[in-house]
Structure 1
Amino acid sequence: MVEERKKRRRQQPKRETKRTKSTAKQAIKKKQDSIHSKPENKKAQTKNRKRKQVPISKKKKNKFQHPPKNSGSTLLFNIIFYSFILFMIIGSIIFATTKNTDKSVLGYRFFGVLTDSMVPRDPEKQKGGFHSGDVIIVKNIVGNSAEVGDIITFRPSIKSQAFLTHRVKEKLDHLGETKGTYYITQGDANLAEDVPVNEKQVVGKKVIVIPKIGAFLNFVRENVIVSITFLISVFGFITIIRYYILTK
């Protein structure tokens, strides 16, 4: 019995040494693994730091920054849009503030319609008619360049300060024995033809009808300063709205 106990005592430290050896090996392996894994962890840490270092302002800017699309077409559209608005404002102001009927803006004149002589009886055939209270834009033309079917503005007589705007029904190269260009005109709502018109009496050709703003222009004529301020404000408002829509 005594000998067996001695044997057991001798065997116990051997096991402990084996365990200590195994634990030492494990510790060495852990150190080696940690040494090999350190650069990878450093790389991951540097990546995470870079991601964290991205400022919030840049992220916000990326959300709202849009690359410009079709800059050439937008520039062309802006030029046409602003030119048309300015043309309309300037033309309306000149029309409303001047009593000189011979004035034109870039070769165009504005006339207020006072009668319903050009209200079409047959809208399918008589196109381009207008009503009293409308405003028509007339382009200056050479007297002999109008054709049948055109709506022309002319003076009833050479010295007349009034104007008529009717449709050309017939074009003549002489009237009786007198040579020259003459026009037979008639209002779309009229049943009778007008007196023949000489080419010297022709002022221009109707190009655009602006409906129902005659009353507005009469108001402008009576309240010039207020109306000009209002028109400039409307122009600025339209500009701001367009800028907001395009940049959204």
Structure 2
Amino acid sequence: MVEEGVRKQPSNKRKKTKLSPSKKPVNKKKRSNRSNSIANTKNKNLRTEKNRRQKQQTGSKKKQKTTTYKTKNSISTLIFNLFFYGFILFVVIGSIIFATTKNVDKSIFGYRFFGVLTNSMVPRDPETQKGGFHSGDIIIVKNIAGDEAKVGDVITFRPSIKSQAFLTHRVKKKMDHLGETKGIYYITQGDANLAEDVPISEKQVVGKKIVVVPKIGAILNFVRDNPLISIVFLISVFGFITIIRYYILNK
């Protein structure tokens, strides 16, 4: 018998199927590019944040340095001002007193001003005779007790107890008696003189020479003869120096 039907051979052809939109294949290159872009953006943001923090830190350090510098500068300026104005006031007050009074017994904080009238203290040997001065100079003398002077000091003294004149010479000898009289006595001598002075007692000593201001004796003598002009002049000089100083510092 012949079979009615013939078996159907399995077809080698595969059925074509359509992919749904949700199952489309993803492009790997696009995915990697997107990942790289995100990573680059993150890195860029991190670098930007890092740079911003560094700038903030640098700015804060600069501010700290500026503040420290300003503080140090203000302290140094204050100290300089104290010394500057103190010195100027001392000179002005001393000059006014020197110019307006003829009482040589007056002193300013234990200091006196004397004008040099002779050349008895011009040194013959400048290497060994230190601290000499010339006629026309001004000397500043510090008040001392009569027994405090030492050999080599340049002292101001009265030639006699009641004398209104003064001499300023160098101490050559210091003695604890004169003949049979006990006490402190000095033998002085001018650097330009060849002979020693008459011995003096400690009661005649006025003070010890501290500073020499050269060649202004004539000016101060003029100021002494014209006290009103001298006061106006000194105040004007003080104001001029102050203005110039602030101009230089603020330039």
* TM-score between both structures, scaled by the size of structure 1: 0.71
Instruction: Specify the alignment match of 1:192 in structure 2.
Output: 195
Contact 1:89–1:231, Cα closer than 8 Å, also in 2? no
Q: Using the alignment, how far apart are the partners of 1:88 and 1:134 within structure 2?
A: 16
Q: Using the alignment, how far apart are the partners of 1:37 and 1:171 within structure 2?
A: 95
1:103-122 pair list within 5 angstroms: 103-122=106-125
Shift of 1:176: 3.5
Shift of 1:183: 1.8
- SS of corresponding position for 2:42: helix
Counterpart pick for 1:125 among 113, 124, 128: 128
Computing the radius of gyration from Cα coordinates, the structure with the larger value is 2
Counterpart pick for 2:146 among 140, 143, 146: 143
Shift of 1:132: 0.7
Counterpart pick for 1:228 among 219, 227, 234: 234
Contact 1:220–1:227, Cα closer than 8 Å, also in 2? no
- Structure 1 residues 92 and 61, CA gap change in structure 2 (3 angstroms): farther
Q: Using the alignment, how far apart are the partners of 2:79 and 2:65 within structure 1?
A: 28
Q: Using the alignment, how far apart are the partners of 2:175 and 2:44 within structure 1?
A: 98
Contact 1:85–1:235, Cα closer than 8 Å, also in 2? no
- SS of corresponding position for 1:146: coil
1:175 maps onto 2:178 in alignment: yes
Shift of 1:136: 0.7
- Structure 1 residues 64 and 83, CA gap change in structure 2 (3 angstroms): same
Contact 2:96–2:231, Cα closer than 8 Å, also in 1? no
Shift of 1:98: 1.8
Structure 1 counterpart of 2:141, one-letter code: V
Structure 2 counterpart of 1:120, one-letter code: P
Query: What fraction of aligned residue pairs are identical, expressed as a percent?
Result: 64
Shift of 1:66: 6.0
Q: Using the alignment, how far apart are the partners of 2:166 and 2:205 within structure 1?
A: 10
Instruction: Specify the alignment match of 1:17 in structure 2.
Output: none
Instruction: Specify the alignment match of 2:91 in structure 1.
Output: 88
Structure with greater proportional helix content: 1
Contact 2:157–2:166, Cα closer than 8 Å, also in 1? yes
1:214 maps onto 2:217 in alignment: yes
* TM-score between both structures, scaled by the size of structure 2: 0.70
Q: Using the alignment, how far apart are the partners of 1:73 and 1:229 within structure 2?
A: 26
1:39 maps onto 2:42 in alignment: yes
Q: Using the alignment, how far apart are the partners of 1:121 and 1:95 within structure 2?
A: 30
Pick which of 124-133 and 218-227 moved more: 218-227
Structure 1 counterpart of 2:220, one-letter code: L
Contact 2:144–2:207, Cα closer than 8 Å, also in 1? yes
Return 5+ residue gaps in structure 2 as ranges. 1-23
Instruction: Specify the alignment match of 1:13 in structure 2.
Output: none
Counterpart pick for 1:163 among 166, 171, 175: 166
Pick which of 131-140 and 79-88 moved more: 79-88
1:57-68 pair list within 5 angstroms: 67=69
Shift of 1:200: 1.4
Shift of 1:92: 2.3
How many pairs align? Answer: 221
Aligned residues: CA RMSD = 3.7
- SS of corresponding position for 2:203: helix
Deviation string 1:190-248 (CA, Å, 9 cap, x unpaired) is 2222222222111111111111121332343322232222342255257537856xxx9
Q: Using the alignment, how far apart are the partners of 2:186 and 2:238 within structure 1?
A: 42
Pick which of 164-173 and 232-241 moved more: 232-241
